[in-house]
Homo-oligomer: A and B are copies of this chain.
Amino acid sequence: MSGSDASATTLGEASERETLKRIFPRLPESRSTIVGPGDDAAVLAAPDGRYVVTTDMMVHGPDFRWAWSAPYDLGWKAAATNLSDVAAMGAVPTALVVAIAAPASTPVSDLEELADGLRDGCAALAPGCGVVGGDLSVSDTFTIAVTAFGDLEGRAPVLRSGARVGDVVAVSGMLGAAATGLRLLFSEAVDAAGEPDRARFERVLAAHPETVTAQLRPRPPIADGPLAAQAGATAMLDLSDGLALDARRVAEASGVGIDLDPGLLGDDVEIALTGGEDHGLFAAFPAGAGLPGGFRAIGVVVPGAGVLVGGRPFDERGGWDPYIGWDGHGG
């Protein structure tokens, strides 16, 4: 590549310093910054003397494929999924740190676009949240690890363990859409050998924009996390592994049963129950409390254990495990 085309330079050609100089101006600023990027560490404000922390890593192959996700999409999704975990504690997301390992052949412009996705994801979902630090490494496997922080604003964190018999259980965000999108990608956006294919992807995206975008560029209802805490939610978690499995986690942690009403789970009850990566919020609220924001009732907390659907035990495992069903990388 010619040095005159700055956007074509790869990580292997540019120094780490040059690369960071191109990326950092594109990143969103955090309202909580006391000391920002550029020193050994950042310093952030924790006005109520506490902070919320969560981390998540996405790996090319099992977690995303370049044939389906543009760098912008990856940046957006890496932000969104971590913001959702912060919101699920009832906290307002304040900041991210981002560590990336990328092949030396990666164009610096890919990282610029990834930074744009981080910026736009934060701006759309959690205004005021920004990137306060990071790390850049070389790897044969493109990997991004985001750690996200949040401010409880003086409230108690909303844990998985507080659901009480008689509570209403509710969700905010779409159920099953991201999983439907993923199924479409694996069935229709692959070539004859089953490998992700960009041309077929474009057709699938055009035909099913809502579900494919729910998978690749999710919009978790971040603001509903703090709203739920303010409304007295007794338990809450991020829906990442499928409603049935995640509801079971709340049931186990709280020592209760959760009975879901299949009539409130949409047209495709099976995928609403078992589809992963919804990144909506699942919460329990005291009976009679108004449901805030985008929350809608889908069931009740009952005596007993586990998850029921229409009063019958639901034992299908659902959800997904990153080590099961993974058979190599591609795309």
Q: What's the number of copies of this chain in the assembled complex?
A: 2
In the complex the two chains form, is B57's CB within 8 Å of A40's CB? no
Please tell me if the beta carbons of B55 and A137 are within 8 angstroms of each other in the complex. no
Q: Does A11 contact B (CB under 8 A)?
A: yes
Q: How distant is the Cα of A236 from the Cα of B40 in the complex, in angstroms?
A: 9
- CA distance in complex: A42, B86 (Å): 9
Give the CA-CA distance A202 to B179 in the complex, in Å: 49
Among listed A112-120, A128-136, A263-271, interface-contacting one: A128-136
**How far is A56 from B40 in the complex, measured between Cα atoms in Å?**
11
Q: Is the CB of A132 within 8 A of B53?
A: yes
* Contact between A55 and B133, CB atoms less than 8 A apart: yes
> Contacts A40-B54, A42-B54, A51-B46; is A139 near B150 (CB within 8 Å)?
no
**Which positions 136-190 of chain A face chain B at CB distance < 8 Å?**
136-141, 143, 145, 147-150, 152, 157, 159-160
- For A11, A12, A57, the residue with the greatest tally of chain B CB atoms inside 10 Å of its CB is A57
How would residues 304 to 320 of chain A score, 1 for a CB under 8 Å from any chain B CB and 0 otherwise? 00000000000000000
Query: Are B99 and A15 in touch, CB under 8 angstroms?
Result: no
List the 9 closest pairs (A to B, CB-CB), nearest first.
Answer: A46-B46, A145-B145, A41-B54, A141-B141, A57-B99, A147-B147, A40-B88, A55-B97, A40-B85
- A143 near B143 with CB under 8 A, answer yes
Cα distance A50–B134 in the bound complex, in angstroms: 19
Whether the Cβ atoms of B143 and A55 lie closer than 8 Å is no
Q: Determine, out of A59-67, A209-217, A286-294, the stretch whose residues face the partner at the interface.
A: A59-67
Name, among A89, A97, A238, A322, the residue most crowded by chain B CB atoms within 10 Å (CB to CB): A322
Residues of B within 8 A of A12 (CB): 323, 326
In the bound complex, CA of A177 to CA of B38 (Å): 26
Q: How many angstroms from the CA of A186 to the CA of B159 in the assembled complex?
A: 49
Q: How far is the CB of A192 from chain B (nearest CB, A)?
A: 24
Partner of A136, one of B35, B147, B152, B322: B322
Asked if A204 CB lies within 8 Å of chain B CBs, one says no
A152 to B94, CA, bound (A): 19
B residues less than 8 Å from A322 (CB atoms): 16, 136-138
State whether B86 touches A41 (Cβ < 8 A).
yes
Contact B53 A101 (CB under 8 A): no
Contacts of A323 in B (CB 8 A): 11-12, 14-16, 19, 104, 138
Contacts of A14 in B (CB 8 A): 323
- Measured between beta carbons, the chain B residues less than 8 angstroms from A143 are 57, 59, 101, 139, 141, 143, 145
Q: Beyond the given A40-B89, A42-B53, could you list 19 further A-B residue pairs with CB under 8 A, ordered by the A residue number?
A: A12-B323, A14-B323, A39-B89, A39-B157, A39-B237, A40-B54, A40-B88, A41-B54, A41-B88, A45-B50, A46-B50, A46-B51, A56-B135, A57-B100, A57-B145, A59-B138, A139-B141, A140-B329, A143-B143
